[in-house]
Amino acid sequence: MPLSQSLITPGLAVAFDIPIPAGNPSSAVSPHHHHFHRAGPALTSASPNHPPPLLPPPDFESSDLNSASGSGGGGGGSGAGDEPARTLKRPRLVWTPQLHKRFVDAVAHLGIKNAVPKTIMQLMSVDGLTRENVASHLQKYRLYLRRMQGHNASGGAGSGGPISAADAATDQLFASAPVPHHFLSRGGPVTAPGAPEPFLPYVPVAALQHHQQITAAMQQQQYHQRHLGQFGSPTGSGVFDHGFLNRAAVSPSGIHQMIGPAPGMGLLQHTASPAANFSDDLETSGRGSSGEKKVLTLFPTGRSALDIWVGFSPNICMPFVLVSVLISSLSTTGAEWKIQRLSLVLRKGFVRSLDPDLGDCIFECGMVVDSEDSALGIDLDGGAMALH
DNA sequence: ATACTAATAT
DNA sequence: GATATTAGTA
């Protein structure tokens, strides 16, 4: 009942293509429910006119990964504690597009300079992932970036060498995840050791003490964030306004009490939304000012919400309407995402955590930029934070 | 003693 | 070619 107990409103379900047991709108998603490869916009990297990412193991239907089997370590479960990894040979890790995306996001957060195996691994927080796994992948990724850089910046024609068909084929995986712009810049910005990449769109929330106003500089970086110790504005009813498209009255639901580790906590206040806008998204969106959809990945770096790292992809300008937050976990064994919590946020309203146990999860947020005044709030493990 | 990286092995 | 493993260093 604890973990797999995600509440999904009809609206969100539609948005994410999540099958919901009939007759029970906000019922929990059963563990074995369909995985949503293509379901969650936030999860897949498939672009509208593109085929879905490579699907992991063919046997995804089996229930082995989800719990039970003592070996692999359950994806997000409460985990049995044995870790015979020592003498046992772990199966070769397969870097799925999902995993790679997570990897890239982590690297982006850290900044290429600070991105080293151990740190990346921690940020990724993927069950079963080892430092060696990451180191190996990183090595290859660096080579990839190097090549890209050669083709990109350096004088065109002769300098970097042509892009062989072999390379294209080889870099298939890497192509599945967008390479952050600054990755390719040579002589990039020098950053103080330990300090987060200034140019990074991602910033540790913990570092932000006060509400920050949007400054020109920030806009340039295109991110705004804010950290809240807790929400106090009980704006209201606790019911979300459906028509956020109407922009009429938004609801105030904010209430959001800190949800401690108490189980069975909050629940989605209500329903929601025309989240239809989430149908598919991905970072492919871009540019426009309104109607944009973006994927946001938040990395929890610790058990405390205050340690969570938050980031916006460049180009995301806040106002938006609202956001739907999808929380899932990934494990090397199962390589499947599992919804753990789903929340809805309305402009000026805040989300409510549905499940206190975040453990090693990642937050994928599909964000729709629409109106001009709104905010995203995320609440977890007793802490809360919001982005403006 | 740890962990990063390059080199090499499977 | 994709990962894993080893070896040399910082």
Query: Which single residue has its CA nearest the C1' atom of nucleotide C2?
Result: A94
Residue tagged 């209201």 (tokens): A236
Nucleotide closest to residue A140 (CA–C1'): C2
Q: What is the mean pLDDT of each run of 10 residues along chain A (388 residues)?
A: 29 34 29 27 28 29 27 34 62 90 89 92 88 97 89 58 66 88 64 39 27 21 24 22 18 21 19 20 29 46 31 32 45 55 34 34 32 32 34
State residue A124's pLDDT score: 85
Provide the CA A167 to C1' C2 distance, Å, integer. Answer: 13
A80 touches strand C (CB under 7 A): no
Check residue A171 and give its pLDDT. Answer: 82
Question: Residue A172 and residue A277: Cα distance in Å, rounded?
Answer: 29
A86 touches strand C (CB under 7 A): no
A171: nearest nucleotide, CA–C1' criterion: C1
- Protein residue at shortest CA distance from C1' of B2: A118
CA of A149 to C1' of B2 (A): 31
Nucleic strand C near CB of residue A141 (< 7 Å) = no
Q: How many CA atoms lie within 13 A of A219 on its CB side?
A: 5
User: Which chain B nucleotides are covered by protein, judged by CB under 7 A?
Assistant: 3-7
Q: Detail the protein residues whose CB sits closer than 7 A to any atom belonging to strand B.
A: A 116-119, 131, 135-136, 138-139, 142
Å from A118 (CA) to B3 (C1')?
A: 8
pLDDT value at position A299?
Answer: 54
Rounded to whole angstroms, the Cα distance separating A200 from A191 reads 11
- Residue-level pLDDT at A298: 54
> The whole model's pTM is what?
0.48
User: CA nearest A382: which of A346, A352, A360?
Assistant: A352
A134: which nucleotide lies closest, measuring CA to C1'?
A: C3
